Chains A and B, each alone.
Chain A
């Protein structure tokens, strides 16, 4: 029986130096991370299980907030940022837990870790898919909050989009490491938020402050940009740490 198979050609020859090697590694990492993320999104688009649960829960939170808080503009302006980021935190945890539970059901995480792809690509792929799902929920929750509470949330859309994107990335990156680590732990559903939320406090703090600065009257754009930069640094720091520790945490 022939075991011949096709593979992509290796970067060889005189031109394939150290730079080409590093470039190849990054390109392979990005390619495989995209494949894994697309796999997650494809499964989700088919089952719609996680997204529907997250969106429904997020919308429910908005309705509860709208009913529970008085329609006093000053009070609303003060509490809306907290409502938005609470919705992101809670729905993000639901999404994270379920996205990794799916890999546990048929031990598919093992198949991903066994594949000849950088294990970092597995982490990045899962984080990208989770971030996109958190963003999708934010896209539903933010306008709902604006409508129900009658606040001009989108007066400065660019910084708002930036802070929400950075927040989603932060939740997904930090959460993916711990969700993967807790994959084989029985009480993972309880442990994930208990471990994750303390680490996400700076992220939620920055998100809340930034959103508050954007909806203030007048808007404090300088303050908003400060918190956007803060969140950018937070994400970068946790990305570096996650990349560093992911493989050692997921291998038994």
Chain B
């Protein structure tokens, strides 16, 4: 089934302003214009991406453009291929066919330069249970070679609302909601220009889910590309400006524009089933 498309809203993708850039990246490259340093991913081009696991088809020829300053809601039933597509965009899953191109101001980014710009929130917390919240974030700061001072770590933990008393406790003692907040802090710490979130509202109470939705909106407004895989349409209603629906590995709907909860529910039920 062909994906229905509307004209793009929002105009040209914009770069993300940073004080310094990832020029120290030895493995990544930014080809093209003038050899200027990369300024974050401002465009992702997914072209005819397919993925098979043995004889099982997870994705079939999916093409999608993601632009800076947008929030794409990737919807579909369980097994539709959303997580696989997120995995491919995150560079952790190799597509069986097709390609994903990452651009920064027209220049192609590859390898480490791409990974530096990606923040990911997956089903699992991706945090070490034996380490405290601060230690988990300090490890990420060290691997990304960004400021890992106590003030910065506490700042991001404050933003996600992780209880101050819990920050020096081993993460294995956390509740599901606290782990989700820590995982979000890990994803936000590196100030990614491409944020991939797989069911980010799971385990959060209503206030937490609303606060997260607000934060994602702020990130989008700051110029990041936000991709959210979720079944919680209420949490993203009014914030998402790009909806893509997958069904049995195929992109069956794609449209840009603001959506109310009712509109989201309608398109979801119409296309995902």
Contact = CB atoms under 8 A, between A and B. Distances in A.
A116 B126 contact: no
A110 B91 CA distance: 10
Contacts of B190: 5
A114 B120 contact: yes
B265 to A, nearest CB: 30
B147 A5 contact: yes
Nearest to A43: B130
A115 B193 contact: no
B242 interface: no
Most central of B23, B120, B130, B193 by chain A CB within 10 Å: B130
Contact of A28 (B17, B26, B40, B142): B26
A35 B125 contact: no
Interface size class of B (residues with CB under 8 A): 35 or more
Contacts of A115: 115, 140, 143-144
B126 A5 contact: no
A2 B142 CA distance: 21
A118 B222 contact: no
B126 A12 contact: no
Contact of A4 (B19, B87, B93): B19
A64 interface: no
A116 B21 CA distance: 13
Interface in B139-185: 139-140, 142-147
Contacts of B146: 5-7
A3 B40 contact: yes
B163 to A, nearest CB: 20
B118 A106 contact: no
Interface string B1-28: 0000000000000001111111111111
B108 interface: no
Contacts of A112: 143
Contacts of A102: 128
Interface in A114-166: 114-118
Interface in A1-21: 1-12, 21
A106 B129 contact: yes
B113 interface: yes
B186 interface: yes
Given A7-B24, A110-B126, A116 B120 contact: no
Given A5-B18, A6-B146, A106-B126, A114 B92 contact: yes
Name which of B37, B115, B221 has the most chain A CB atoms within 10 A of its CB: B115
Nearest to A103: B128
Given A24-B26, A35-B142, A117-B112, A108 B128 contact: yes
Contacts of A116: 22, 25, 28, 112-113, 115-116, 143-145
- The listed residue with most B CB atoms (<10 A of its CB), out of A21, A24, A110, A116, is A116
B29 to A, nearest CB: 11
B114 to A, nearest CB: 8
A252 B87 contact: yes
A7 B21 contact: yes
A7 B128 contact: no
Contacts of B124: 106-107, 110
B219 interface: yes
A1 B16 CA distance: 10
B94 interface: yes
A34 B94 CA distance: 27
B140 A3 contact: no
Nearest to A250: B92
A-B complex: 4 closest residue pairs judged by Cβ atoms:
A10-B23, A107-B124, A116-B116, A111-B126
11 contacts: A1-B222, A5-B18, A5-B146, A7-B22, A7-B23, A7-B145, A9-B23, A10-B25, A39-B139, A116-B28, A251-B94
Given A107-B123, A116-B22, 18 more contacts: A4-B191, A5-B20, A5-B191, A7-B24, A8-B145, A10-B22, A10-B24, A36-B143, A43-B128, A107-B124, A107-B126, A108-B126, A110-B92, A112-B143, A114-B115, A115-B115, A118-B26, A252-B94
Interface of B: 16-28, 37, 40, 87, 90-94, 112-113, 115-116, 118, 120, 122-131, 139-140, 142-147, 186, 190-191, 193, 218-219, 221-224
